Structure 1
Amino acid sequence: MLNKVITVPTEETKTSPWANALKLGDLQNRAADPLDADIYKAKIIDIREQMGELARASTAPTVVEFGTSGWRGRIGEDFTLHNVRKVTRAIIDTMRTPEFLAANGYNSFAEAQEHGLVVFRDNRYMGDEFVDAALAELHAAGIKTYSAGECPTGVGSAVVTELRAAGSLNFTPSHNPMDYAGLKFNPADGGPAGPEITNLIQNRANKYMQAADFKPAEKIDPTLNEKIFPVYIYLDFLQKSQIIDLHKIKELLLANKDNLTIIIDNMHGSSRGVFEAIFGESIINQLDIRFKNTETDYSFHGVKPEPSAANQKPLIAELQKSTKPLTLAAALDPDADRIRFADADLDIDMNMFSAIALDYAIKQGLSQGVVTSVASSGFAAAIARQRNLPETAAAVGFKNFRPALAQHEAAVAFEESDGISFIGHTLEKDGIIGFLVALSAMLESGKNLSELYHELQEKYGYYYPGKSGRTIEGISITEWQKFRKDVIENIKASYKTG
C-alpha cells in the first residue's frame, strides 16, 4: 500500500499539467527508494488520465505545423482526437490533389483509394484511439486501409512499398517525451513527405481547425480494413537487401554464440519483438542476447526516450561485466527510427557509426558514397572523398535525403540525430537495418565496433564528433573569453591526434 508522503512539484500546474508529469518522471528515474518511484509513477498516471480525458473531449483547435517529421503536439492540449480527425481529413483532401496524384503515379483519386494506406503507431498513450479516429475518416472517404498496429517507422515504410500502398499514416512523435503524440504522412515511395505535400496538408488542416461546422466520421468500416503483420512483410523486404545478407547473419550468430553478448534497449517501443521475429526463436534461445525495457510504460520510466549518452551508460556497464570477446549494445527510440550503439569500450553515436557503415558498404562492393545532413560529422564524408566516392550534404531532415536514396546515388544516408538508411532500403530512416549492418560488420570482421572505428581513424584521419552545452550567466566578457580559451585548451589536450 502506498502511504508514504513525498513532496510533489506544483509549478506550472495551471497552464500545463504535463510539466509536472515530466518533473515527476525525473524524480521517478532518480528515486533511490522503489516506493518513492512507485508514488511518482502513480501521480504521473493520474496526470496522464486527466490529459487523456481532455484529448477525448476537447474540440479546441490548434495550429498545425508539419516539421521535419510530421505534426507533433502535447496530448490533451493540441493533440486531441478531434484535431487528429481534422488533420486526417486534410490528408485525404491532399490525396485528391493533382500534385499528390501525379507525384505518386495515379491517374485518379479512385486509384489511390484502391491502393490504400498503411496505418500504424508506436507505443504511446492513446495510440489505438488516435488510429481508430483516423481509420474512421479514411473509410468515410472510401480509402482502403492496412492496419499494422504497433510498428517501427522503418518497417512501416517498407510495408508501404511491398504492398504498393498509396502511403502511410504513422502515429509517433519519435523520441519526444511522454507528453507528446505525433502523426507522420509518407507517400507511396515510403519516404517522408516533402514540403510540396506537407504544405498542402498543413494549409488544409488549419482551415479545418477554424471550421465551426466540422463533423467527424463516426465509425470504422471493417470491409475497408485489413489487419496485417508488418514484421513478416519486412522480412520479405529484407531478402532483397543490397546491404545485408540475413541468412549469413544467422549463420555467423550461431558460429559466434559462445563469444558474443548483445543488449538491445527497446525503450518500451515498437521495436519490441522485431529482432526475435527476424532471427527466430531457435537462434535467439542459443544466444546471450538481452532485451531491455520491453514492457509497456507510457512514461518511459521517467526518462526522455532517445538514444543518448546518458541512456547508454547502463548498457555499457552491463557489457563490461561480460567475459565474451564480442560485445554490442543498441538503444532504439520508441518508433525505432533512431539507434545508437556501444560496445564494452566505446559509446558509438551515429556520427561515429556512419563511418563504420560506409566502410562496410564499400567492402560489399558499393560505390555510391554517402549523403548526410550539414550538421553531421565530416568523418564519413572524408572517407568518401579519400576513396573517390561521391559525398553530399543536405539540409536537416531525412526527407531531404530522398533524391539521393531514390536515385541510388548514395550507399549510406545518415543524420547526426541517429537516423540511417541504405541504398535499396527504405527512403525513411530505420534503426532496424542500422542494427543489422552493425551486427554484420562486427560478425564478418570478428572485431568490436570500437576496434573498427579506431582502425578507420588510423587510416583516414581523426574526427571527434560530439556536442555539449552549458548555461553561462552573470559573467563579464573577460571571464567569458577565459572560459572559452580554457575549453579549447582542454579539447586540444584531450584529443592530441587529429
Structure 2
Amino acid sequence: MQSMSRHLFGTDGVRGRANSEPMTAEIAMRIGMAAGQVFNRGDHRHRVVIGKDTRLSGYMIEQAMTAGFLSVGMDVLLLGPVPTPAVGFLTRSMRADVGVMISASHNPYEDNGIKLFGPDGFKLSDAVESQIEGLVMSPRDIRLAASKMIGRAKRLDDADGRYIEAVKASVRGNLDLTGLKIVVDCANGAAYKVAPTVLWELGAEVIPMAVSPDGFNINGNCGSTYPQVLQEHVVMHGADIGIALDGDADRVVLACEHGRLIDGDQLMATIADHWAKDGRLAGGGLVATVMSNLGLERYLGQRKLTLVRAAVGDRYVLERMRSDGYNLGGEQSGHIIMIDHATTGDGLMAALQALSAMLKTGKPASETFRAFEPVPQLLKNVRVGDANAALSAAAVTHAIADAEARLGKSGRILVRKSGTEPLIRVMAEGDDSDLVRTVVDQIIEAIPRVKASA
C-alpha cells in the first residue's frame, strides 16, 4: 500500500472517495484497530457502537471497521442507518468506549467518511485523533487481542426507537403538532425512517420525501443542500412548513409556507429569542461562525444578547460553546448545536425547537422565522496555487484595508483560505449591496495570477 501523503483526519474526521485512499477497507480496518487500542482502557469489556448512513460503501467500511475493533478485543454494537447525532447519543447511553459514524454528510454517494466519538458522546479532540492516526501509520505498534479475548459483534435492533424517544424528549412539555402539515425531505439518507416517524408520533400530517435510499441516491437532488424540490412541494401541498435534512441529518434548513428558504442564521435567531424568554439561554447569547450574517449579530444585540464568532466548522463552534458556557450555537448552513440535548449538530432536534417556537408565537413560518432582514452578503472563491503567499501579497493586504475603510462600521470583510481546497474565499457584507460587490471585486483583482469563480 502506498503511503498517504496527507494527514488522515480533517476538520470532521476522515473523508474521501470510497475505495480510494484514505477510504479503503484496509485503512478503515486499521482505524478500527487503532481507535480500539486507544480506548481499550481499564478491565471492563470494551464496547464500540457503529452507525452509518445509506451510501453503498457503508457496508464495506462498516465490516472493515468491525473486524478492526474485534481484533483488538472490543465488542461491536451495529446500529445500522442512523443520524450522526444518534451515534453521539447512543455512545453515551450504551456506556460505550467509542462511537463511529460512517458518513460523508452532504457529499454525493461516491464519497464516504468516518467520524469518531469519545465515551462522552462528543467528537474527538485533535490530540486523540493524532494519536489514532499515529497508530494507523505504524500498524506494528497495534497489539492484537489474545485468541480468547477477540471481541463479539451484534446488531442493536432498537437503535432507531431509542433515538426517536431522545428526540421527542428534547422538547419541553408535550409538543403537539396536530393540525400542522409538514413536508420532510430526508435526503435518502440516515434519517429516512426516524424523521417522518418523530413528526407523525407528535401528531403532524407528514408528507415524506427522499425516503427510499438505494445506496446511490443519498443527497442526489434532494436534502438540505438541494432544497428546491422541498420548496416546490411545500407550496404544491399547501403545507405549513418544510424540513430538509442532509445525508447524516446533522444539519437542517426549513422552507416557509410560501416556499421561501429559512437558513441556520434565522433558525438560531428564533430559537435564541424563544429560549431567552423562557430563561434557558445559557451564556447570554450564542456561538456562530465568521460566516454568519451581520443581521444576526444586530438582531441579538438589540435583545442584549451576544454573538460569539468561531472559525468555520461545527467542531469549532462546539469547542467555543463548551469553553465559554453557551448552550446554543451553529452555522448558517444549518448545523444547529443544542448542547443541553445533543453532543453534535442535530437537524431533527433543531426542527422541533423551531416548530415549538412557531406554535408559541401563533404566527406562520414566514413571519416566525423572518427574525431579521439579512444584510446583503457576497461570497466569491478564487483558485490559487499558494493561498498563504497570495494572502500575504502587499497588493492584497492593501485592498483588504481599503475595503474595510470603505465599509466602515456598516459592513464586514472576511478573506480566508479554504480548509479543503486551494481556494481563497472573499466575503463582504454591508447595507450597501453595490459597495459590497465593488469591494469584493477589488480584492479579487488584487490577488495575483488567479481566476475568480462565483
- Contact in 1 for aligned 2:251/2:334 (Cα 8 Å): yes
Q: Given the superposition, is the C-alpha separation of residues 453 and 301 from structure 1 closer, same or farther in structure 2, using an over 3 Å criterion? A: closer
SS at match of 2:236: coil
- Contact in 2 for aligned 1:408/1:423 (Cα 8 Å): no
Q: Given the superposition, is the C-alpha separation of residues 164 and 385 from structure 1 closer, same or farther in structure 2, using an over 3 Å criterion? A: farther
Write the distance in 2 (CA, Å) between the matches of 1:392 and 1:152: 27
Residue of structure 2 in register with 1:99 after alignment: none
Q: Which amino acid in structure 1 is aligned with residue 43 of structure 2?
A: A
Give the fraction of aligned pairs with identical amino acids, expressed as a percent: 22
Residue of structure 2 in register with 1:122 after alignment: 53
Residue of structure 1 in register with 2:174 after alignment: 248
Residue of structure 2 in register with 1:330 after alignment: 243
Map of 1:396-475 to 2, 5 A cutoff? 396-406=312-322, 409-454=325-370, 456-457=371-372, 462-464=373-375, 467-469=378-380
Write the distance in 1 (CA, Å) between the matches of 2:2 and 2:224: 34
Q: Given the superposition, is the C-alpha separation of residues 216 and 268 from structure 1 closer, same or farther in structure 2, using an over 3 Å criterion? A: farther
Q: Given the superposition, is the C-alpha separation of residues 488 and 466 from structure 1 closer, same or farther in structure 2, using an over 3 Å criterion? A: closer
Q: Which amino acid in structure 2 is aligned with residue 73 of structure 1?
A: G
Instruction: Indicate the RMSD between aligned Cα atoms, in angstroms.
Output: 3.7
Candidates 139, 161, 166, aligned match of 1:232: 161
Q: Given the superposition, is the C-alpha separation of residues 235 and 291 from structure 1 closer, same or farther in structure 2, using an over 3 Å criterion? A: closer
Report 1 or 2 for greater relative contact order, CA contacts < 8 Å, sequence distance ≥ 6: 1
Candidates 159, 164, 177, aligned match of 2:90: 159
Write the distance in 2 (CA, Å) between the matches of 1:155 and 1:357: 22
1:448-491 CA distances to partner (integer Å, 9 max, x unpaired)? 3321233x33xxxx43375554789xxxx9xxx9xx99x99982
1:277-327 CA distances to partner (integer Å, 9 max, x unpaired)? 32456945xx1x21111112333288466523xx22222222223446xx2
Deviates more, 1:125-134 or 1:369-378: 369-378
Q: Given the superposition, is the C-alpha separation of residues 489 and 418 from structure 1 closer, same or farther in structure 2, using an over 3 Å criterion? A: closer
1:79-132 CA distances to partner (integer Å, 9 max, x unpaired)? 111111112222123325xxxxxxxxxxx3434x43x22111011112122112
Map of 1:30-69 to 2, 5 A cutoff? 61-63=3-5, 64-69=7-12
Structure showing the higher strand proportion among its residues: 2
Write the distance in 2 (CA, Å) between the matches of 1:351 and 1:469: 20
Residue of structure 2 in register with 1:88 after alignment: 32
Write the distance in 1 (CA, Å) between the matches of 2:232 and 2:70: 50
| TM, length-normalised to structure 1 | 0.69
1:39-86 CA distances to partner (integer Å, 9 max, x unpaired)? xxxxxxxxxxxxxxxxxxxx5554542111100111122111111111
Q: Which amino acid in structure 1 is aligned with residue 244 of structure 2?
A: A
- Contact in 2 for aligned 1:153/1:336 (Cα 8 Å): yes
Residue of structure 2 in register with 1:174 after alignment: 105
Write the distance in 1 (CA, Å) between the matches of 2:32 and 2:238: 52
- Contact in 1 for aligned 2:252/2:335 (Cα 8 Å): yes
Structure 1 residues not aligned, in runs of 5+:
1-58, 97-107
Write the distance in 2 (CA, Å) between the matches of 1:174 and 1:466: 26
Write the distance in 2 (CA, Å) between the matches of 1:224 and 1:204: 23
1:17-42 CA distances to partner (integer Å, 9 max, x unpaired)? xxxxxxxxxxxxxxxxxxxxxxxxxx
Structure showing the higher helix proportion among its residues: 1
Write the distance in 2 (CA, Å) between the matches of 1:187 and 1:301: 27
Candidates 335, 342, 346, aligned match of 2:260: 346
SS at match of 2:212: coil
Residue of structure 2 in register with 1:36 after alignment: none
1:395-419 CA distances to partner (integer Å, 9 max, x unpaired)? 2222223345447822311022320
Structure 2 residues not aligned, in runs of 5+:
384-394, 407-428, 438-454
Q: How many residues align?
A: 392
